[in-house]
Amino acid sequence: MEIKEIHTFLQDGLARVEAQIDASLRSDIPLLDATNRGLREHPGKMLRPMLALLVSGALGKKTPDTYRFAASVELLHNATLLHDDVVDGAACRRGLPTVFSQLGASPAVLMGDYWLVACLKLILGAEKHILQVLELFSNTLGHLTEGELLQLEKTTRADTTQADYLRIVYGKTASLFETAALSAAISVDATETLCRAAGDFARRVGIAFQIKDDIFDYSEPSATLGKPVGIDLKEQKITQPLLCALETVPPQEAEAVRAQVARLAEHPEGEAEIRAFVRAKDGMARAARVMDQYINEALACLEAFPASAEKEYLAALARYVGDRTI
C-alpha cells in the first residue's frame, strides 16, 4: 500500500490537524510569522499525526482533544528538528535551507522554542487528561534530550553498543512515535490494555523507522533517495548497519574498526574503508533483518485491536516504514 492511500483515508483529519498547527503558530511579529509560514509550506510526511489519527480511530471515536494532541506531537517533532539543525550545523532539511542556515543559530533556537510553547499551549487547551498528557510529553522531551546527549557522548569514544544504540534510537525517534499513539489512545478513553498495545506498536515502528534511516546512510547516493548519505558516519555515529557488521568479526578486528571511526575527524579518508567493511559484511542486509523483526513485533501488537479499517491502515503504515525509499 502506498503512503498516499493512507493520506487520502485521513485527508479530513489531517486537514484539521494542520489547521490546528497553523492557528497555533500565527504571530503579529513579521519575521516569526513569515518564517513559520515558510516552514509550514513543506510539512514533511506527517507520520506522527497519521499514527495518532489511525490509533484514535481504531480504539474509539475521535474527540477535539485527538486533533489537539496529534497537532502537539507534530509541533514537538518540528521543534526538535529546528534545534537539531543548530546542533548539527545543518544547511538543508527536506531539500530546503534550514532556519539555522538562513537566520543563524539564535533565531533557529528561538523558533524551536516557539514551536515547543505552541505544543504545550495546545495540550493545556484540552478538555480532558491535561496533566496525564503533559506528563507524557514532558517525559518524551526528556527522552529526546537524553538520546541526543548520549549519542554525542558516544561519538567521542566510538564505543556504542547495541544497547546504547537502542536507547539512543528510542530517545531520538521512537519515544515520539510512542507519545503520538499513547496520547491518541488517551484522547478516546481507551482501556489501559489497548493504550499499552498502542504504545508498544508505535515504539517498535519508531525503532524500525530509525533503523531504515540508518540503512539509507550507507546507501549509494541517488535521486530516488532524495537525501544526503554518509552523514552519520562522517559525524562518527555508530548505527545499526555498522553494529551488525562488527558482530561478524573477532573482537580485535572490531576494535580496530571502532578506532578508525574514532579517528574520522582527523582522518576522514577512512570513511570509504569503513563503508566498504559494512558492505563486505552485509551490514545493511543484517540491519534490514533487525528492522523487519521490529516491524513484525509491531504487527503482532495490533492483534489486541478490534477489527477496523484504521487497524488495517496501521499495519500498512508499519510495512511502509520498512519499504520506503525516502
pLDDT digits 0-9 by tens, 23-67 = 999 999 999 999 999 999 888 889 999 999 999 999 999 999 999
**Residue in 105, 123, 99 with CA at minimum distance from that of residue 32:** 99
Cβ-contact 64, 127 below 8 angstroms: yes
- Is residue 93 very low, low, confident or very high in pLDDT (cuts 50, 70, 90)? confident
Cβ-contact 74, 45 below 8 angstroms: no
- Is residue 95 very low, low, confident or very high in pLDDT (cuts 50, 70, 90)? confident
What is the CATH classification number for the domain harbouring 271?
Answer: 1.10.600.10
Number of domains in the chain: 1
Virtual torsion, Cα 10, 94, 264, 175, nearest 10 deg: -30
Query: What is the per-residue pLDDT for 226?
Result: 46
Query: What is the per-residue pLDDT for 227?
Result: 54
φ, ψ of residue 93 in degrees (nearest 5): -145, 135
Full domain range(s) for residue 165:
3-323
C-alpha cell of residue 323: 519499504
CA–CA distance, 152 with 148 (Å, rounded to integer): 6
- What percent of the chain has a predicted confidence (pLDDT) above 90? 86
CA–CA distance, 119 with 121 (Å, rounded to integer): 6
**Residue in 201, 232, 229 with CA at minimum distance from that of residue 216:** 229
φ, ψ of residue 28 in degrees (nearest 5): -90, 5
Against a cut of 0.85, is the pTM above it?
Answer: yes
Amino acid at position 261, single letter: V
Q: How would you write the chain as a 3-class SS string?
A: CCHHHHHHHCHHHHHHHHHHHHHHHCCCCHHHHHHHHHHHCCCCCCHHHHHHHHHHHHHCCCCHHHHHHHHHHHHHHHHHHHHHHHHHCCCEECCEECHHHHHCHHHHHHHHHHHHHHHHHHHHCCCCCHHHHHHHHHHHHHHHHHHHHHHHHHHCCCCCCHHHHHHHHHHHHHHHHHHHHHHHHHHCCCCHHHHHHHHHHHHHHHHHHHHHHHHHCCCCCCCCCCCCCCHHHHCCCCCHHHHHHHCCCCHHHHHHHHHHHHCCCCCCCHHHHHHHHHHHCCHHHHHHHHHHHHHHHHHHHHHHCCCCHHHHHHHHHHHHHHHCCC
C-alpha cell of residue 31: 519575521
Angle at 190 between CA 138 and CA 316, to 5 degrees: 85
Does the pLDDT of residue 326 top 50, yes or no? yes
CA–CA distance, 154 with 156 (Å, rounded to integer): 5
Angle at 143 between CA 40 and CA 68, to 5 degrees: 40
**Chain-centroid distance, C-alpha 250:** 33
pLDDT tens readout for residues 265-292: 899 999 999 999 999 999 999 999 999 9
Grid cell 539564535 is found at: 106
Cβ-contact 90, 101 below 8 angstroms: yes
CA–CA distance, 83 with 146 (Å, rounded to integer): 14
pLDDT tens readout for residues 217-254: 998 764 444 456 678 999 999 999 999 999 999 999 99
Q: What is the mean pLDDT of residues 137-150?
A: 96
Query: What is the per-residue pLDDT for 44?
Result: 83
